[in-house]
Amino acid sequence: MKRIVVCGRNDGGKSTILGELYKGLKNRNFQPLAVGSGVQDEKPYLLKGIEPSYLTIAVPEPGRDIASDIERVIRNAINQIKEKNKLIEGARKALEELNKVRSVLELGNLSQKDIPKAASLPNVVLIEAVGINDGYKADECRKLADVLVTIIPAGLKGEIIMEPGNFLLDEADILVVTKVDETPREITSTTLKLLQRIYRSKPIIPVVATKGVHINLVLDEVVKGLADPMILFEAVLPEEKGLNKMN
């Protein structure tokens, strides 16, 4: 399966973007498996609309952004879905046999409506990286990703963006600027222009994910990347007029 990795600094909005990508990909006939990182509690992810059957948590070792055994985590999550589907199928067959007996005894049939449908198997994996290495220096994220989405808060200082060794900015497939609605317009504009000047061949997309602003642009680029991870993207920078409407 293709893997989409969402990376960036802590508190940059990665889990929110993960949730929006999950819902958006489902609407485009994908079934994502979401892998949350760095927290034991699933509740924050569930609140973002990720279904429990397609959510698993992988806690990286200290100093790492992604669990070293991520392949095992993904495999176990898929096996759990398969096992649950077997139980559902077994329950349906058992109820059918029981209803045959009840019919002979004229007791009436029991409904199968309380038995859930078997779950579709995932066909793409969404992984959130922790951001332990300041969010932009962990090459493990790039090695793991077929599509790498790097999150940049709109208020991030320019000197941080320009630091040497920001591997996950340099190697990102898509740059997503978050917290646009929480940041003064002139600061957001400066951040976007700096990113556009440095990364002319990448899509640079400012979003207000919780309001659906430009999230479809991110989805479009992710789907392109899933079809052809080596594609060269056109730079995306909405006009300032569009930014004014978001603030």
DSSP string of the chain, one letter each residue: -EEEEEEESTTSSHHHHHHHHHHHHHHTT--EEEEEES-S--HHHHHTT--GGGEEEE-PPTT-SS-TTHHHHHHHHHHHHHHHHHHHHHHHHHHHHHHHHHHHTT--PPPSTTSPPPPPPPSEEEEE---TTTTT--HHHHHH-SEEEEEEETT--HHHHT-TT-HHHHT-SEEEEE-GGGS-HHHHHHHHHHHHHH-TTSBEEE-BGGGTBTHHHHHHHHHHHHH-TTPPPPPB---HHHHHHH-
pLDDT attached to residue 228: 75
Q: What is the pTM of this model?
A: 0.86
**Tokens at 212, concatenated:** 């659906």
Tell whether the model's pLDDT for residue 238 goes beyond 50.
Answer: no
The pLDDT tens digits of the residues spanning 174-214 come to 999 999 999 999 999 999 999 999 999 999 999 998 787 89
- Domains of the chain: which residue ranges? 2-69+124-246
d(CA 190, CA 200): 15
Q: Is 131 a residue whose pLDDT tops 60?
A: yes
pLDDT at position 230 over 60: no
- On the question of pLDDT at 234 being above 50, the answer is no
Q: What percent of the chain has pLDDT over 70?
A: 91
Note the pLDDT tens digit of each residue in 7-47.
998 889 999 999 999 999 999 999 999 999 876 678 889 99
Task: Tell me how far apart the terminal alpha carbons of the chain are, to the nearest angstrom.
Answer: 38
pLDDT band at residue 59 using 50, 70 and 90 as cut-offs = confident
CATH code matching the domain that covers 2-69+124-246, chosen among 3.40.50.10540, 3.40.50.300, 3.30.420.40, 3.40.1350.10: 3.40.50.300
| 224 band by pLDDT with thresholds 50, 70 and 90 | very high
| pLDDT surpasses 80 at 51 | yes
